[in-house]
Amino acid sequence: MSAAMPAFSIDPARTAWCAELRALAADRLRPLAEKGEPGRVNRPLVAELGRLGLLSRLFTSGAVDLCLMRESLAYACTEAETALALQGLGARPVHAHGTPAQRRRWLPDVAEGSAVAAFALSEPGAGSDAAALSLAAERDGTDGWRLTGEKRWISNAPEADFYTVFARTTPGAGARGVTAFLLPADRPGLTGSALDMLSPHPIGALRLDAVPVTADDVLGEPDRGFRVAMGTLDLFRPSVGAFAVGMAQAALDATLAHTASRDAFGGKLRDLQTVSHQVAEMALRTEAARLMVHAAATAYDAAAPDVPRRAAMAKLLATETAQYVVDAAVQLHGACALRRGHLLEHLYREVRAPRIYEGASEVQRGIIARELYAEHAGRAEPGAGVGHTEPAGRHVPAAPPDRSAQADRSAQAVQTAQAERAERAERAERAEREAR
Ligand SMILES: Cc1cc2nc3c(=O)[nH]c(=O)nc-3n(C[C@H](O)[C@H](O)[C@H](O)COP(=O)(O)OP(=O)(O)OC[C@H]3O[C@@H](n4cnc5c(N)ncnc54)[C@H](O)[C@@H]3O)c2cc1C
């Protein structure tokens, strides 16, 4: 662990904001979620998130606030949490790397909840090994490409209004030959279908058949799209952990209520020491996961050098913990938890996917281990470990954090940190190039 461990604490104003968000989720968002169709985009729900001003916060909040939003919404309405997160995942690349025209065209609608965004990286043959993606971008004239191939497991597909799509512009170049495109859903040649999953998550596959794109559709620079993807995931990984912590807390609170009121063996369930100790263990692990999520988010906002490792640790610990806590909650509720429509039956289905998406748990362990060994061996110069280490050992410098990610800090500190981080990333990249 680096010597410069960031300090963090959640101030009373933010704690009150979280309580407000939990109440909004229960009173305003839950009823809309219940009217939605499982596995499909719920546009009234997205619009309400916009009306409540939560979507615009995706572009003004740092990682800590993003985590607090996700945890609070997840506590009372997982569908609302997911709808919010997916708007962020699809639109943050536009916010961070888009041209003024791209930002003007899409970001106000995303913030209002009238446009639905999606992030299309995974393919049938490229999941964990995302740098192996093969969706082909073939040159079409001097200023354009044609996109051909398939994307799969894309949240909000095929109903999104636009996609941040990652395509191969340079064959054989691995992570360095990928370009990010902003693809409106009405482009000719783009079709898709919904996929039916265990959880009520809106998700589908996309088919691209010579879809035309031009330089105006590029996000960032050609062949530098992997930085766009990894920079986005650096931000979102701890917040997947926050989603998991919200679910764990909901399961824990339901278990406290249940075990305190359920009659058994002449007393209440909680009077059995095995039961109360199990509840204590659930609380212990949930709190540990929450603290690690907050630490990772704080490190991101501070543009700390060890963000990839912290983000991976937070995502790994929180999603695995939530699985444990929800499972234990089901056990302590007995049969009633498994009845269709019970909170825990819902959470049991919801809690599984986050251990797979945005980097499976095994991939997170790989990132953590490689960052540790790189630091230990002194291969990375001080502060150079800002990149994302791919499972196959490719080291990809991370994009500098979004401008909005440091909303709570002074503008000068933000600019300095960003410049330093970008410079470190460039240095690491140059050293890697020279080493090859
Ligand atoms: C609900 C849901 C929503 C999703 N939303 C999106 C989205 O919006 N956009 C998008 O682009 N993708 C999305 N995905 C796809 C997701 O990112 C991939 O599923 C994920 O990257 C894993 O890829 P895979 O499923 O192909 O599994 P694989 O890559 O085939 O891996 C299968 C398993 O192999 C093991 N494994 C893989 N790599 C390693 C390794 N390096 N070391 C050790 N073990 C390893 C792990 O156990 C892993 O779970 C979503 C997935 C789900 C389930």
Report the CATH number at residue 232: 1.20.140.10
Q: How far is the CA of 150 from the centre of ligand 1 (A)?
A: 16
The three-class DSSP label of residue 65 is helix
Q: Same domain for 257 and 403?
A: yes
Q: Same domain for 89 and 166?
A: no
Query: What pLDDT is stored for residue 199 in this prediction?
Result: 87
Domain limit, last residue, from 83, 112, 141: 112
Report which ligand 1 atom has the smallest distance to the Cα of 151. 11
Query: What pLDDT is stored for residue 10 in this prediction?
Result: 87
Q: How far is the CA of 130 from the centre of ligand 1 (A)?
A: 9
Residue span of the structural domain in which 53 resides: 12-112
Q: Same domain for 129 and 196?
A: yes
Q: What are phi and psi of 210, to 5 degrees?
A: 55, 50
Q: Map tokens 């990132």 to a residue.
A: 367
Report which ligand 1 atom has the smallest distance to the Cα of 392. 41
Query: What pLDDT is stored for residue 386 in this prediction?
Result: 31
What are the per-10-residue average pLDDT scores of the chain (436 residues)? 58 95 98 95 98 97 96 98 98 97 98 98 97 97 95 98 98 96 98 94 97 98 96 91 98 98 98 98 98 95 91 97 98 98 97 97 96 83 40 37 36 36 46 42
Query: What pLDDT is stored for residue 433 in this prediction?
Result: 41
Q: Same domain for 201 and 291?
A: no
- Residue 177 in any domain: the answer is yes
Q: Same domain for 241 and 355?
A: yes
Q: Same domain for 241 and 160?
A: no
Q: Same domain for 78 and 139?
A: no
Count the Cβ atoms, other than its own, within 10 Å of residue 433.
Answer: 9
Q: How far is the CA of 120 from the centre of ligand 1 (A)?
A: 13
For residue 399, what is the DSSP state? P
Tokens describing residue 158: 């095929």
Q: Same domain for 244 and 391?
A: yes
The binding-site residues of ligand 1, defined as CB within 6 angstroms of any ligand atom, are 119-122, 127-128, 153-155, 197, 201, 203, 353, 356-358, 360, 362-363, 366, 391
Pocket test residue of 357, 361, 365, 367 for ligand 1, highest count of atoms within 8 A of CB: 357
Residues labelled as active-site residues: 358
Query: What pLDDT is stored for residue 9 in this prediction?
Result: 75
- Residue 7 in any domain: the answer is no
The β-bridge relationship of strands 190-194 and 136-140 is unpaired
Pocket test residue of 356, 367, 368, 388 for ligand 1, highest count of atoms within 8 A of CB: 356
- Residue 5 in any domain: the answer is no
Domain limit, last residue, from 162, 188, 223: 223
The β-bridge relationship of strands 117-120 and 144-155 is unpaired
CA-CA distance, 63 to 238, in Å (whole number)?
8
- Residue 2 in any domain: the answer is no
Total domains in the chain come to 3
- Residue 394 in any domain: the answer is yes
Nearest CA to ligand 1 atom 25: 127
- Measure Cα distances from 121 to 135, 234, 357 in Å: 9, 15, 11
Q: Same domain for 50 and 102?
A: yes
CA-CA distance, 199 to 185, in Å (whole number)?
25
Count the Cβ atoms, other than its own, within 10 Å of residue 259.
Answer: 21
Tokens describing residue 292: 């690690």
Q: How far is the CA of 389 from the centre of ligand 1 (A)?
A: 16
Contact assessment for residue 370 and residue 378, using Cβ atoms and an 8 Å cutoff: no
Report which ligand 1 atom has the smallest distance to the Cα of 130. 21
Domain limit, last residue, from 191, 223, 255: 223
- Residue 4 in any domain: the answer is no
Closest CA to 303 of 156, 154, 434, 416: 416
Q: Same domain for 107 and 148?
A: no
Q: Same domain for 182 and 328?
A: no
- Residue 308 in any domain: the answer is yes
Report the CATH number at residue 45: 1.10.540.10
Report the CATH number at residue 217: 2.40.110.10
Q: Same domain for 207 and 255?
A: no
Q: How far is the CA of 360 from the centre of ligand 1 (A)?
A: 6
